[in-house]
Amino acid sequence: MSVLSRVKVDRFRNLEAVDITPSPSFNFFYGANGSGKTSLLEALHCVSVGRSFRTQKIRPLVSEGFPSFTVFLGIDNQMAAGIGLSKSRAGKTELNLLSVPQDNWKDVAERLPVQLINSESFLILDGGAKPRRRLLDWAMFHVEHSSLNLLRRFNRALKQRNSLLKTLHTGSRKKALEALLPWDREFSESGTALNIKRQEIATKLDDILQDYLNRLLPNFSFELIYKPGWDVSTSLLSQLESSIDRDLASGTTNFGPHRGDIVIYAGKSIAKETLSRGQSKMFVCSLKLALGKMVSDRYADYGTQYSPVFLLDDLPSELDNRNQELVLHELANLNVQCFITSVDKPKFTKEKLKRDARMFHVEHGKIAEA
């Protein structure tokens, strides 16, 4: 298992001169609201994927009065073999992996897969389709890295087609079809291939997820149904042709993988209409654990030691002690590194967790081992 052996954060929100040596297993961070606990998780998330989970803006991330923030993550006790990120208020970004400058996040995302569980994770059940598609695409990338090129290809075709639809809506239908045909073909080819890969990921994910649900939510029977985003009894190209009038009128593409979704049932009802808040969080934890196991197993097949890092913000929220222990037990069995926050000092011990665990107190942007 590859782990973060050192975490250094400076001038990220209220965090100042943070330098800690985390456990390869459980790391608990406790302190008052606003002390900087979530900001630490946010900094790790930024290094992994290049963006915050709380804002799309850079300026709020940089400490007041400073031009930039820096984050450095040591890997496997080798400070030279780490990941460094610096972002400035002016928009300048510097990213390094193993001391090599990076032009994008592909290699860093591969090296540091992160799974986040926080209050926004409920959107997997309560929100629109986008968070669920994003989960599939995250898993798809880590299971097969080349799928990123396919996703980029499809998104480019979608963007170009939508741009054309907005300019062609006042012209004739025949001319619109002729102008759209090259992008329709590209959209159809890449979209069909993308749908096949998403379907494969959804099927694998469901198989793994059921095992976790049987242990964490045994009183329900769950079903995940993948929806491609169009009627697959006809080709995607035919679907685009038949929906041309609707697309021209709306100025957007109404069918395709960008409309795909996963419908989640608990029994015969939609899960979000049946589960309590605590049950919903247990479902989300089960889903994230399943994603982590899928990726860990696949990386083991690759012959690498990469494994997901779990970020759990305010674990006690919505969960009683028993359910917290169930989640921690599954994380221990998955053998992943975890960064977990709470307001109060956790009472979990190394003996109880059967894994190494370290406690850190967070106060006014400072983090010290407790």
Query: In this structure, are 14 and 100 located in the same domain?
Result: yes
What number is the average pLDDT over the span 135-139? 95
Judge whether residue 42 has pLDDT over 80.
yes
Instruction: Please give the residue that has the higher pLDDT: either 46 or 174.
Output: 46
Q: SS3 sequence, 25-73?
A: CEEEEECCCCCCHHHHHHHHHHHHHCCCCCCCCCHHHECCCCCEEEEEE
Total number of domains constituting the chain: 2
Boundary residue ending a domain (266, 301, 336): 301
Instruction: Please give the residue that has the higher pLDDT: either 306 or 154.
Output: 154
State the residue range of the domain holding 173: 122-301
Report, in this order, helix, strand and coil percent for the chain, each rounded to 5: 45, 20, 30
The confidence score (pLDDT) of residue 80 equals 60
Phi, psi of 189 (to 5 degrees): -65, -50
Residues composing the chain: 370
Which pLDDT tens digit goes with each residue over 225-244?
A: 999 999 999 999 999 999 99
Query: In this structure, are 227 and 297 located in the same domain?
Result: yes
Give the DSSP per-residue string, 231-293.
-TTS-HHHHHHHTHHHHHHHTS--SSGGG-EEEEEETTEEHHHH--HHHHHHHHHHHHHHHHH
- Whole-structure pTM value: 0.94
Local confidence band at 77 (pLDDT 50, 70, 90 cut-offs): low
Judge whether residue 158 has pLDDT over 90.
yes
Please report the sign of the dihedral spanned by the C-alpha atoms of residue 89, residue 92, residue 96, residue 99.
negative
What number is the average pLDDT over the span 123-142? 95
Query: In this structure, are 296 and 310 located in the same domain?
Result: no
Boundary residue ending a domain (269, 301, 333): 301
The confidence score (pLDDT) of residue 351 equals 79
Which pLDDT tens digit goes with each residue over 263-289?
A: 999 999 999 999 999 999 999 999 999
Query: In this structure, are 75 and 127 located in the same domain?
Result: no
Local confidence band at 79 (pLDDT 50, 70, 90 cut-offs): low
Query: In this structure, are 291 and 177 located in the same domain?
Result: yes
The confidence score (pLDDT) of residue 70 equals 98
Find the Cα–Cα–Cα–Cα dihedral 114, 118, 122, 128, rounded to 10°.
-60
Judge whether residue 134 has pLDDT over 80.
yes
Query: In this structure, are 248 and 315 located in the same domain?
Result: no
Query: In this structure, are 127 and 243 located in the same domain?
Result: yes
Which pLDDT tens digit goes with each residue over 286-336?
A: 999 999 999 999 887 766 667 899 999 999 999 999 999 999 999 999 999
Query: In this structure, are 145 and 106 located in the same domain?
Result: no
Judge whether residue 78 has pLDDT over 90.
no
Rounded Cα–Cα distance for residues 370 and 250 (Å): 58
Query: In this prediction, what percent of the chain has a pLDDT beyond 90?
Result: 87
Given the DSSP bridges, would you call strands 269-270 and 261-266 parallel, antiparallel or unpaired? antiparallel
Query: In this structure, are 282 and 178 located in the same domain?
Result: yes
